[in-house]
């Protein structure tokens, strides 16, 4: 998918000192390894249809746009936080460009990979 290659190139240019190794491209996803231990899997089917999943050790979180939680203020996008809760998405917007969303997410993950979640079992 050319969008993934474009996004990967933009990440390499914006965060050259924060990447651990090269970006890995797979059939429908690309994987970014950050120096702080976070592994980010990026899947953009369209600008407003995405899944951004990251792992730090055994803790996993995700932001996606699956229209499954209409009660959330940010519907359809939502955040599966490190404690396993599904809450309003604090970072991305389906009307933002994929590049802007990824830059916002990566900056936040570099500052706090758990995005403020403290109560992990």
Query: Residue 119: its pLDDT value, please?
Result: 67
Predicted local distance difference test score (pLDDT) of residue 117: 80
| Strand ranges for the chain from DSSP E | 24-25, 30-33, 39-46, 49-56, 59-64, 78-80, 86-88
- Mean pLDDT split into 10-residue runs, the chain, 121 residues: 91 98 96 98 95 96 95 94 94 94 98 83 58
Q: In the structure encoding, which two tokens stand for residue 12, read together?
A: 């390499």
In a domain, 117, yes or no: no
Is 68 among the domain residues? yes
86 within a domain of the structure (yes/no): yes
So what's the pLDDT on residue 120? 61
The domain total for the chain is 1
Token code pair at residue 82 = 């490190």
pLDDT at 78: 96
Would residue 118 count as lying in a domain? no
Residue 14 lies in a domain: yes
Residue 29 belongs to what domain range?
2-111
Q: 119 in a domain, yes or no?
A: no
pTM as predicted: 0.93
Q: Note whether residue 116 is domain-resident.
A: no
């Amino acid at each position: 998918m050319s969008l993934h290659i474009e996004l990967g190139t933009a990440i390499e240019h914006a965060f050259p000192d924060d990447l651990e190794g090269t970006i890995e491209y797979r059939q429908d996803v690309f994987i970014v390894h950050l120096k702080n231990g976070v592994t980010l899997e990026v899947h953009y089917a369209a600008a407003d249809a995405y899944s951004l999943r990251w792992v730090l050790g055994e803790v996993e979180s995700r932001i996606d746009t699956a229209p499954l939680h209409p009660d959330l203020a940010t519907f359809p996008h939502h955040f599966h936080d490190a404690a396993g809760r599904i809450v309003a998405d604090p970072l991305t917007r389906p009307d933002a460009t994929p590049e802007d969303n990824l830059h916002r997410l990566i900056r936040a993950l570099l500052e706090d990979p758990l995005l403020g979640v403290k109560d992990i079992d």
